[in-house]
Structure 1
Amino acid sequence: MLKEISIINGPNLNLLGKREPDIYGNESMEQYIQRLSQKSFLSKIKLSYAQTNHEGALIDLLHEKSSSVIGIVLNAGAYTHTSLALADAIRSISIPVVEVHLSNIFTREKIRHRSLISAACKGSICGFGMTSYKLAAISLLSQISTLD
């Protein structure tokens, strides 16, 4: 049976490839997931992907996926900086969650320098564009002792 990593994106990330390409690039998430899934280091891993613009739906996805995946890569978008509820949801599940941001949040507006979810996550990766998702997947895989 394949093990699974879930990539979950928050608000406005459905517009990747169109929204502010100077910050977020020109590739859609669907295109990137397809490319990433073909990497040899993921040969024994299934990648699933979900995106929502709604805070409660993000929480529901975290709860739902926590019983069926080995880890979650989470780009919570702007909710990173505002949602205690999301931080509590991450703390309430037992699988590792890696926080991801495409841009370097510390070089952007001051409000983006503070993450309310970082302390609840296994780790954080920011500033490497779409490669941030690949780095997060690698970090989750490094936590798994065997992949059968």
Structure 2
Amino acid sequence: MTQETGEYRVRKSDAEWREQLTPQEYHVLREAGTERPHTGEYTDTKTVGVYSCRACGAELFTSDTKFDSHCGWPSFYSPLAEDRVEYIEDTAFGMRRVEVRCGSCGSHLGHVFEGEGYATPTDQRYCINSISLRLRPQEG
């Protein structure tokens, strides 16, 4: 989202998103759904590279910040840069959580939690749906 306009850099109509994304991708990215735990393509991936938003291609996380949280979804302790994501208070299902969205297109990525005691530099866990991401392996 740009600070100047308050709008996302990537904007598409609902029909355009539906045409671009599979029904499962659309449900998670555009309707804030969640994939089932331990089913995502990147849950246990150790490949070195950059994780981008599956909807718009914006680079969001690197494998350097990915860690094993054993929660069933890929976990990162920090985004690539703070302006790459946005945070929305989520009170759905009677819980208080912080939703993480792509800062470029507003697509739902997952949630961020803190204070769980992981031995990471930020004590945060970005719990991200694999289906929200696309991994570009490092060459070489």
Same-fold call, TM cutoff 0.5: no
Normalized per residue, which structure has more helix?
1
* TM-score, structure 2 as length reference: 0.24
TM-score (norm 1): 0.23
